[in-house]
Structure 1
Amino acid sequence: VAESAIVGYPHDIKGSALYGYVILKDTGESRDRENLRKEINQVISDTIGPIAKLDKIQFVSALPKTRSGKIMRRILRKIAEGDYANFGDTSTLLNPEIVEEIKNEKI
């Protein structure tokens, strides 16, 4: 994993769950995605505890960031919730096209 962002989203049983957006290093690009999901959750479970496991993991090529480098978790949270209606002002993003890419590849 090169970079990641974790956000909460509503879950029918748990109330809320964790959704992870993960950027892989070049060496991880060719690996099986299901095995990677299991490995990532195993590392999280071993390091933090089973309560912190991610319910969904989406592999992305980039994260929506401002020009200063701040990850726009507000946008990622709306995508995880399935709310595509109003992302707010995306003109300040370094790469606004990534929002559409993430939305289209949502799990």
Structure 2
Amino acid sequence: MINEEKWELRLYIAGQTPNSILALKNITKYCKEHLEGRYVIEVIDLLKNPQLAEGDQIFAIPTLVRKVPEPLRKIIGDLSNEEKVLVGLNIRPVSN
């Protein structure tokens, strides 16, 4: 059975820093590979909306927050270690 659960991810960045750009590129790639058509990535630039950091208790950037499915999970950094990100978000690799 295919899990049709929708994933809501929020990526907190601070401007277009190399780590922020890399984090967005990496999470987009992983989602396309493992959650095709079942994900939303909301990018929040804390230089433009610093008050939004408080809601998810963001202390470092970039930070990826998994809002849905619960429980909420956070991963800090440029998300370049795919295995660590998938385990951290509890995404099971797609098996054909």
TM-score by length of 2: 0.30
* Bigger-Rg structure (1/2): 1
The structure in which a higher percent of residues are helix is 1
The structure in which a higher percent of residues are strand is 2
Which structure would you say has the larger RCO, counting Cα contacts within 8 Å and 6 or more residues apart?
Answer: 2
TM-score by length of 1: 0.28
